[in-house]
């Protein structure tokens, strides 16, 4: 029967019948700011080595138990051998082990491993709580057995190209998994890699107490890569969302990974690593000629005046995200001289981004980032008046700008719904919008309300 349909239509039908997972993130795109709804019990806001973290088994009690209804594609697969051959690759293309009971891991048969392209793993499902101290040996045995099964699945998945590693505890070891991943990277199989601390992933605002946390998992991975730099050559997308990285690992990140097309780092660059483009650090950055997307989120070492130098350094860069970066101890840069765009070393004519997204950055930081030429600028979580203050200080910021995308605020939604302003706070937004429109008219910039928020944050946010 399928022979009477065009191949494209058959594939569309099968894609539609696949089970839908609403929180599936994409490495290199949105994984570093997508909260996993499948994780019920999250780590506490501030974690010490002694603090309790709910174990997987207890956390899962909060979820609705009972048999899951098989998806339509699974039912179609069971109709005949021919349909099984067609449907199985699509059913097992992406495997999410975060939701699976680690005690029944083998519910994912190894025989389907050839179909697996994407894998997401919670590497510490059996985290100890204080109540389990007496059962340490048993829990450690469970974790070792679970990780051994993960390794066997990775070895059998010869077409695996993307893997996301999630962990809840800073003390988690994934030494048993690391060697298998690095081996596959060395062979050029794994091209997308993500390492995510749930503590960072599920908290919108970082905490200073995290600066004392030394995470074991990420260090084990990068230590293995330091010893096998060839394994970094084929990787195209790398996500890191951890409370910290070791200085040696930071050097590895900068010096290697020559084929990266997307690089996302959240929280990991702390102040002790030094500012991101200090004079004595510049030579450590590999040019990464293929890097088109760079996302820097909640990094204390990402000093705003240094970000334009990264844009200059990465010649292929097209998309830049800077969100909630910098430190309260950062120094304001000196004012730019008149005519800065025409200086021989200006970025004005040498570089031009397609999109720059600036989120939760202060007035002077926006001003510092303003020397970056971009066709489109997205603003989100900007304190009321900070962007307006920046354009009043220098109306030429963000050269070559064609479109300014704003996040619809309550004021804008009120106008859209009621045709009027019905709250005193909205008057301020109204004044800001009028100022923006006047500036945009002078610059020939189009304003739209298609902006979006990467992560929430505290504060009085307006359009700009």
The per-residue pLDDT for range 222-262, each reduced to its tens digit, is 889 888 888 999 999 999 999 888 888 898 899 999 999 99
In a domain, 75, yes or no: no
Question: How much is the pLDDT for 61?
Answer: 42
In a domain, 439, yes or no: yes
Band (pLDDT 50/70/90 cuts) for residue 174 is confident
Select the highest-mean-pLDDT range: 46-55, 68-77, 273-282.
Answer: 273-282
453: number of Cβ within 10 Å: 16
Question: How much is the pLDDT for 14?
Answer: 63
Q: How high is the mean pLDDT of the chain?
A: 80
Q: How many folded domains does the chain comprise?
A: 1
448: number of Cβ within 10 Å: 11
Question: How much is the pLDDT for 265?
Answer: 95
Say which range, 90-104, 180-194, 307-321, 347-361, has the weakest mean pLDDT.
90-104
Question: How much is the pLDDT for 49?
Answer: 39
Query: What is the Cα Rg of the chain in Å?
Result: 24
In a domain, 442, yes or no: yes
Band (pLDDT 50/70/90 cuts) for residue 294 is very high
Confidence check: pLDDT of 42 > 60: no
Higher pLDDT, 376 or 172: 376
Confidence check: pLDDT of 78 > 80: no
Question: How much is the pLDDT for 289?
Answer: 94
Confidence check: pLDDT of 270 > 70: yes
Confidence check: pLDDT of 55 > 60: no
In a domain, 371, yes or no: yes
450: number of Cβ within 10 Å: 11
Pairing of strands 192-197, 94-96: unpaired
What's the average model confidence in pLDDT over 435-449?
A: 93
What's the average model confidence in pLDDT over 322-340?
A: 87
Query: 175-179: long-range contacts at Cβ-Cβ below 8 A with a sequence spacing of 24 or more?
Result: 175/220, 176/144, 176/147, 176/148, 176/151, 177/121, 177/123, 177/147, 177/150, 177/151, 178/220, 178/221, 178/224, 179/151, 179/224
Band (pLDDT 50/70/90 cuts) for residue 293 is very high
Confidence check: pLDDT of 335 > 70: yes
SS3 content of the chain, % helix, strand, coil (to 5): 40, 15, 45
Band (pLDDT 50/70/90 cuts) for residue 417 is low
Question: How much is the pLDDT for 65?
Answer: 43
Say which range, 11-25, 184-198, 391-405, has the weakest mean pLDDT.
11-25
Question: How much is the pLDDT for 37?
Answer: 64
In a domain, 308, yes or no: no
Say which range, 94-108, 161-175, 277-291, has the weakest mean pLDDT.
94-108
Say which range, 162-166, 182-186, 263-267, 327-331, has the weakest mean pLDDT.
327-331
Say which range, 59-63, 293-297, 357-361, has the weakest mean pLDDT.
59-63
What's the average model confidence in pLDDT over 199-217?
A: 74
What's the average model confidence in pLDDT over 92-100?
A: 78
Question: How much is the pLDDT for 79?
Answer: 74
Contact 382, 462 (CB under 8 A): yes
Mark out the alpha helices in 256-338 (DSSP H runs).
Answer: 307-313
In a domain, 399, yes or no: yes
Enclosing domain of residue 449? 348-454
The per-residue pLDDT for range 125-140, each reduced to its tens digit, is 776 554 554 545 455 5
Band (pLDDT 50/70/90 cuts) for residue 308 is very high
Select the highest-mean-pLDDT range: 181-185, 272-276, 281-285, 332-336.
Answer: 181-185
Helix (H, G, I), strand (E, B) or coil at 344: coil
In a domain, 68, yes or no: no
In a domain, 189, yes or no: no
Question: How much is the pLDDT for 56?
Answer: 40
């Amino acid at each position: 029967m399928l022979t009477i349909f065009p191949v494209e239509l058959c594939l569309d039908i099968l894609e539609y019948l696949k089970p839908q997972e609403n929180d599936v993130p994409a490495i290199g795109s949105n994984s570093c700011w997508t909260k996993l709804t499948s994780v019920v019990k999250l780590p506490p806001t501030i974690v010490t080595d002694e603090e309790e973290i709910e174990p997987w088994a207890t956390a899962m009690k909060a979820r609705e138990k009972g048999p899951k209804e098989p998806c339509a594609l699974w039912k179609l697969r069971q109709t005949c051998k021919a349909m099984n051959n067609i449907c199985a690759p699509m059913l097992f293309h992406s495997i999410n082990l975060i939701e699976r009971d680690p005690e029944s891991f083998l519910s994912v048969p190894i025989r389907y491993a050839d179909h697996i392209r994407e894998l997401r793993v919670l590497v510490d499902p059996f985290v100890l709580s204080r109540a389990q101290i007496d059962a340490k040996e048993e829990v450690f045995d469970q974790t070792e057995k679970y990780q051994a099964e993960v390794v066997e699945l990775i070895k059998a998945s010869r077409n695996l190209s993307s893997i996301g590693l999630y962990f809840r505890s800073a003390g988690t070891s994934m030494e048993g998994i690391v060697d298998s991943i690095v081996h596959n990277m060395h062979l050029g199989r794994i091209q997308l890699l993500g390492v995510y601390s749930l503590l960072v992933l599920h908290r919108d605002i970082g905490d200073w107490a995290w600066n004392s946390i030394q995470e074991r998992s990420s260090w084990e991975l990068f230590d293995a890569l330091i010893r096998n730099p060839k394994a970094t050559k084929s990787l195209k997308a790398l996500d890191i969302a951890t409370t910290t990285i070791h200085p040696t690992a930071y050097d590895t990140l900068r010096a290697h990974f020559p084929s990266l097309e997307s690089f996302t780092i959240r929280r990991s660059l702390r102040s002790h690593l030094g500012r991101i483009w200090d004079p004595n650090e510049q030579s450590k950055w590999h040019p990464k000629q293929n890097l088109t997307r760079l996302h820097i989120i909640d990094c204390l070492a990402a000093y705003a005046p240094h970000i334009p130098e990264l844009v200059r350094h990465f010649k292929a860069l097209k998309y830049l995200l800077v969100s909630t970066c910098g430190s309260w101890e950062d120094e304001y840069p000196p004012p730019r001289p008149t005519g800065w765009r025409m200086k021989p070393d200006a970025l004005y004519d040498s570089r031009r981004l397609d999109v720059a997204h600036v989120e939760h950055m202060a007035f002077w930081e926006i001003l510092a980032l303003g020397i970056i030429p971009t066709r489109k600028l997205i603003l989100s979580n900007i304190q009321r008046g900070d962007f307006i203050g920046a354009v009043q200080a220098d109306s030429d910021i963000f050269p070559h700008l064609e479109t300014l995308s704003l996040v619809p605020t309550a004021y804008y939604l009120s106008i859209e719904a009621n045709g009027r302003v019905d709250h005193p706070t909205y008057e301020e937004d109204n004044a800001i919008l009028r100022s923006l429109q006047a500036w945009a008219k002078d610059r020939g910039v189009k304003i739209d309300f298609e902006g979006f928020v990467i992560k929430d944050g505290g504060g009085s946010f307006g359009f700009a």
